[in-house]
Amino acid sequence: MAFLCSSSLPSCSVAIFSKSNTDGFRSSPSYRLRLRPISASHVLAPAIDRSAIVISETVSEDELWAAACLRVRTFNELNPSSFNIQDHRRYLAEREFEALKERVSGKREGFTRVSCVNATLPLSQLSTSSEDLCSACKYSDGIEDRVVVGSLDLNQCRWLPDEIAGTKPEGFSVDFARAYLSNVCVAKELHRNGVGYKLIEKSKVVAREWGITDMYVHVTVVNEAAKRLYMKSGFVQESAEPAWQARYLNRPQRLLLWLSLPTS
């Protein structure tokens, strides 16, 4: 979960995104990972030309890989002094990359359609203070080197595994008219540049093209920055996860936010 932490995608384990990313701790024999909601960053945002930010659906595997690396960088907090930390980061990125490919290609059961929407900037727009971001999340679009600085998934489906299900629309249209946002994240270096808002606005455009009428996103109760972003984007609260369920899943309580999309 991130930035903006919507709930994350149902494809990987807590640490590697194969189910839903949750806030909290998960330990392995060698590493301690903390998946945390990203609130307003205290990192000083670099001066960038906001008009240079491009928001689009992913069209290449290179860009998918860069998006996977950004998610690992955002959703996991690893001790830099840990043994073989770079190998572990790459392992996590490879797992997320393969899961992303499976979802986007339509091979994941239970999902009608999935799109990875990214925010990218030309490499030349980022300062030397963003060297780690540039190194981890860079790709080439065939014309220039770009960096993925924000990402989310738009999932056309009835529900996300281990998450509260939406109630709209009802009837036979639920299979193709309902969608969820997940894995919403923005690089900490680019917080407060409107990247999260632009990602959500682009997801609305794609959703309408798919015939989606009702869009949902999950967010933790304590993530005030995320809630402000989603409310600004037009979402309203539909329901809250029961406290017992949050305890059972060993995670902070979630809210389910809903947005009605115009059909015309």
Instruction: Write out the catalytic residue numbers.
Output: 230
Rounded (10°) CA dihedral 78, 220, 162, 170: -150
SS3 45: coil
Task: Tell which residue, 202, 56, 193, 37, has the closest CA to residue 125.
Answer: 193
Find how far residue 95's CA is from the centre of its chain.
15
d(CA 180, CA 216): 5
DSSP 46: P
259 DSSP 8-state letter: E
Query: What is the rounded CA–CA span in Å between residue 151 and residue 54?
Result: 11
| 31-50 exposure pattern, b = at least 16 Cβ within 10 A, e = fewer | bebebbbbbebeeeebebee
CA quadruple 240, 244, 245, 246: dihedral positive or negative?
Answer: positive
